[in-house]
Amino acid sequence: MAVAFKPEQSPLSVDYCGLSLNSPIVLLSGCVGFGEEYTRIEGFSNRDVGAVVLKGTTREPRLGNNPHRVYETPMGMLNAIGLQNPGMDVVVDEILPGLDFSETRFIANVCGSTIEDYAAVTKRFDDSAIDAIEINISCPNIREGGVHFGNFPEMSAKVVEACRRQTNKPIITKLSPNQTDIRENARLCIEAGTDGLAVINTIMGMAIDIEERKPIIDNVRGGLSGPAIKPIALLKVQQVYEVAGPKGIPIIGQGGITTPDDALEFLIAGAATIGVGTALFYDPFACEKINSGLLQYLKRHEVESVSDLVGSLQH
């Protein structure tokens, strides 16, 4: 039986989907493996991290894409890992028992190629110690010719509905920026039963080897993350907050956050928590620096809690 997490109260404490977090920082899926890749680093403190989102998990094991799968770009990174993971049974039966649920919150990331896949993986995590479930609706629907669930609001809502029927745990829907109207997608996902939203997933991009005249990423395209996408992500958070804020649906704002100022922008735009991912690849202690900067800002502006900044944009 996992020991329950006991949050500390500080100006950085936040509530997200009913979960008390020590910090507004959420470590993003795919950037810290299944948690142990980060929590085992010397100097890790649960005061610095509010929650860890585990690597994307599918019903069956996946080997992922062929290399190259990662490529550094100016101010960012392309990745096309292909959801490499050991499958839901191994994650629940072998990996989760090895995590220390007393040190932070852990959120599963659910992926699938059909709605039935999403439902099955969600049901498997429902009977586990996991604190919440994030739905990665950017996966391609093989029954619709590879069309991505997350790029079509009605399809996104169907995935959320199916997962909602399988669990009472908090559901967080990770929205794609590669669509026409992210606000409409957010609205339908909220109506379908999501408890929270993660904004945004990576933006599709590519890189070319000019000598070989071939794509550098074997999959041709990959997801672009890092500081290069921050202005886009910030706008999407502000747009989604217009829909989600009045309904009390909290947002994980993510996309290029590396500094305290970045985090503050996302909070002011409407994010209740902020996701850190690519920054960890070159600075494993970025979270400590971001939290320190947030505390300094709160003190300088005489604001009692980081939650008081959420959605405080004046316009």
So which residues are the catalytic ones? 139
Q: What is the pTM of this model?
A: 0.95
Residue 3 has a pLDDT of 63
Q: If you search the block for the tokens 């669930």, which residue do you land on?
A: 149
What is the full per-residue pLDDT of the chain (315 aa) written as tens digits? 456 677 778 999 999 999 999 999 999 999 999 988 777 776 666 678 999 999 999 999 999 999 999 999 999 999 999 999 999 999 999 999 999 898 899 999 999 999 999 999 999 999 999 999 999 998 766 566 556 888 899 999 999 999 999 999 999 999 999 888 999 999 999 999 999 999 999 999 999 999 999 999 999 999 999 999 999 999 999 999 999 999 999 999 999 999 999 999 999 999 999 999 999 999 988 999 999 999 999 999 999 999 999 999 998
Residue 18 has a pLDDT of 97
In the chain, what are the domain boundaries?
A: 14-63+84-204+225-309
Provide the CA 186 distance to its chain's centre, in angstroms: 15
Between CA 208 and CA 213 the distance in angstroms is 7
Number of neighbouring beta carbons within 10 Å of residue 62: 17
On whether the CB atoms of residues 111 and 173 are closer than 8 A, the answer is no
Locate 232 and state its tokens.
């886009």
- CATH assignment of 14-63+84-204+225-309, among 3.20.20.70, 3.40.50.300, 2.40.340.10, 3.40.640.10: 3.20.20.70
Specify which residues 109 forms β-bridges with.
56, 134
Read out DSSP for 99-153? S-TTTSEEEEEE--SSHHHHHHHHHHHHTSS-SEEEEETTSEEGGGTTEEGGGSH
Between CA 30 and CA 48 the distance in angstroms is 19
Question: How many C-alpha atoms does 244 have within 13 Å on its Cβ side?
Answer: 34
Residue 103 has a pLDDT of 85
Residue 116 has a pLDDT of 96
Residue 243 has a pLDDT of 98
Residue 133 has a pLDDT of 98
